[in-house]
Amino acid sequence: MIIVVAPGQGSQTPGFLAPWLDVNGVRDHLETLSDAAGIDLVAHGTVSDADTIRDTEIAQPLIVAASIVTGSLLLENRRTVVGGLAGHSVGEFSAACLSGILSDVDAIRLVGVRGRAMANEATKVPTGMSAVLGSDIDVLQARLSELGLTAANMNGGGQVVVAGERAALAALAAEPVPGSRVIPLQVAGAFHTDYMAGAVDILRAAASTVIPADPTIAIYTNRDGTSVSSGIDYVNLLIGQVSSPVRWDMCMNAFVHDGITGLIELAPAGALVGLAKRGLNGIPTVAVKTPDDLVAAIELLEAS
């Protein structure tokens, strides 16, 4: 069973969409999504610098658009051989689109609302996120409680992303849990925590205008790794996910339970393949960064 996954914020790099513009239909698709997002995705994916595409309002729709476009190419005439879909954080919107729950225009419109709302919440209190590598989770949780921090992304493979006020993150970096390494992340705020509660309300209002369909490909939720069969339920989970932890570890556990034999990560790929290599017992993986990678992904999918 091949699982197709979509990455979250932080996976983008300057110019990553440039090689895709020569693929038939990609530019037109991106321009349609640009109109829905209210930003120029072609420009941001080809010529904008790292600081520009790090901005939450730009990063989120850019990443989701890339996954939707490359996922549409991968799944064309191959939907029946995909075992399941999942997205990490904002990548869940990409998965929702590819599974048939949301149209591509509705997905990218809601992501635009999400990105703007989260960016606005991040201006209210100086917060951020840091990756913690190699820590015993129980010991780490005790340290986080001391500092008022939250485990925002439980990524598996020995990686936890923690979030909270910047002073507390600095204290964790200065005195980490023994044997662990703390890496500050270049994000604007404490995503997937209570600091984002205001963004949940804004996204819920925007999503009230959308009529979701039930998924036509199995889809897993970051809430607890379970497969969701109702489109309405999945959209409600998407809304709540803004201020709740990402349980990618539970998603990977579910993949193993359901018999995963390979994993394909859509553009801008790399992070989730890295976690899979550490946490999924050496299954074949493909990170779809360029059109050449898409060929390898199609071969893996069709061989399943």
Decide if 192 is catalytic. yes
Residues 151 and 90 in one domain: no
Q: What is the CATH number of the domain that holds 180?
A: 3.30.70.250
Provide the pLDDT for residue 290.
95
Which residue in 112, 50, 84 sits closest to 215, CA to CA? 84
Quick one: which of 299, 193, 256, 242 has its CA closest to 8?
242
- CA pair distance 270, 281, nearest whole angstrom: 17
Instruction: For residue 251, give the nearest of 217, 275, 283, 268 by alpha carbon.
Output: 275
Is the distance from CB of 91 to CB of 63 less than 8 angstroms? yes
**Residues 259, 113: one domain?**
yes
- In the set 34, 67, 89, 130, the catalytic residue is 89
The reply to whether 176 and 231 lie within a common domain is: no
What are the structure tokens assigned to 248, written together? Answer: 């990618």
Cβ–Cβ contacts within 10 Å for residue 284, how many? 15
Same domain assignment for residues 113 and 236: yes
Are 259 and 277 part of one and the same domain? yes
How many domains, the chain? 2
Q: Are residues 168 and 279 in the same domain?
A: no
Catalytic residue among 34, 94, 192, 243: 192
Cα separation, 203 vs 117, whole angstroms: 8
Three-point CA angle 231, 61, 215, nearest 5°: 15
Q: Which of these three, 164, 184, 204, is where a domain ends?
A: 184
CA–CA separation, 159 and 182 (whole Å): 10
Return the CATH number at 221.
3.40.366.10
pLDDT of residue 188: 84
Domain identity same for 248 and 177: no
In this structure, the answer to whether residues 25 and 118 fall within a common structural domain is yes
Active-site residue, 89 included: yes
Please indicate, yes or no, whether residues 131 and 118 belong to a single structural domain of this protein: no
Question: Range of 137's domain?
Answer: 127-184
pLDDT at residue 187, rounded to an integer: 85
Shared domain for 200 and 287, answered yes or no, is yes
- CA distance readout (Å), 150 to 130, 190, 241, 249: 10, 9, 14, 16
Q: In this structure, are 94 and 225 located in the same domain?
A: yes
Q: Are residues 36 and 95 in the same domain?
A: yes
Write out the chain's pLDDT in tens, 304 residues. Answer: 999 999 998 889 999 999 999 999 999 999 999 999 999 999 999 999 999 999 999 999 999 999 999 999 999 999 999 999 999 999 999 999 999 999 999 999 999 999 999 999 999 999 999 999 988 888 999 999 999 999 999 998 789 999 999 999 999 999 999 989 999 998 889 999 999 999 999 999 999 999 999 999 999 999 999 999 999 999 999 999 999 999 999 999 999 999 999 999 999 999 999 999 988 888 999 999 999 999 999 999 998 8
